[in-house]
Structure 1
Amino acid sequence: MSKRITPFASRHCSTLDRLKEVIRRKRPELLRRGVVLQHENATPHSATLTQQWLQRYGWEILPHPAHSPDLAPSDFHLFGPLKRHFGGMAFETEVDLISELRNWFDNLDVDFFRVGINSLLSRWQKCIDLHGDYVKK
């Protein structure tokens, strides 16, 4: 039985197309060496359409234990500060919300991202040591 193509998978593949183009422009050597992605088993990521896209371009996916937010930098590093920033705010329109979100990202220091990515290494090691079990902070 084949998996249905969902709009989410199609959108995810479009995002991967844009990512590939940015890598081609900014870091073409990565495309030659090979791209390794980390993402969880969400439906758009595991969909047949996405898997075909990844296979076509030879991108590798790091294995990700099911229900393991401790390995997703957005979960362990991004969402806490984002939630603190937006706490108590109310927005009249979606445009206002998006504007504030863009402003927040634009004002983050590059070290914010470096710390999140670098901490991923120690989290992966803990996951390996625990044979894929949940990694606690």
Structure 2
Amino acid sequence: MYSISGIVRLKKVDYCVWHVVFQMDQQPQEYATDFLYLLKEKKWVINSLVTHELSSLMQGHSCIYCGETKIACFVASKEFELIKQGIINNRQFLSQVSADIDLKPEEISLDLHVVNNKSKWQELAEENRFYGNLLRIKKRQ
């Protein structure tokens, strides 16, 4: 239960930030979440929700875990760390992320840091962008 069976879409939405649409346990229902990778701290920032992908709900798929059509799956969200760790360990996810941030997959940490506050998330993303710019400048010198 709660096994990542596929990454449907992986979109880079900002520097070191990805929106992931995925499926679990070989079911057609799709779920979505966001990840932020902090380069300096070498850890992933996640939130504690597992959300139903809206377009998947609109196609008539139902969640096998909660049976609801709400945005968040509160049943699966109880195991959010397990689910999000499964995404981070996914070969397709790691391959894309490593290409985007120019690190080998084995150099990317698997550590998770939970942040549910949107403004704190944005603050971390801004600090990470600044740090990433410093790294790129140092590489050019």
- TM-score, length of structure 2 as denominator length: 0.27
**Larger helix proportion of the pair:** 1
From the two aligned structures, give the one with the greater strand fraction.
2
Q: TM-score, normalised by structure 1?
A: 0.27
**Higher gyration radius (CA):** 1
